[in-house]
Amino acid sequence: MNSISIGEIQKNISIITKLKDSLLVLDKRKNKKVAIIYPINDNSVVDSLAGKYKHLVKKCNNLEEAKEIAMKKAMEEKYGLSN
């Protein structure tokens, strides 16, 4: 874990945007820890949650469209309606 002062972050914010490891933020005046910053992992949770059914999961870019399709399919199954 790397450590950095608040002033250094204010001078160079790109330190946070290019973060690969956790970062400890220190207040040098009071000599105490202020925060610990962790990088965001861009890993998909779908792969970890789907388990053995990963190959059946479809990627979706538009959530609203996916909800609408699912609702129509549920209505068709429940009421026997079709378009």
Convert the pLDDT of each residue in 19-59 to its tens digit: 888 899 999 888 899 999 888 776 666 667 767 777 777 77
Do 52 and 27 share a domain, yes or no? Answer: no
Cα 59 from Cα 23, distance rounded (Å) = 33
Q: Which domain holds residue 50?
A: 45-79
Provide the mean pLDDT of the chain: 83
Let me know whether 54 and 29 are in one domain: no
Of the candidates 41, 40, 68, 44, the one whose C-alpha atom is nearest the C-alpha of residue 57 is 44
pLDDT of amino acid 44: 63
Indicate yes or no: pTM above 0.85: no
Tally the domains of the chain: 2
Q: Cβ distance 30 to 5 under 8 Å? A: no
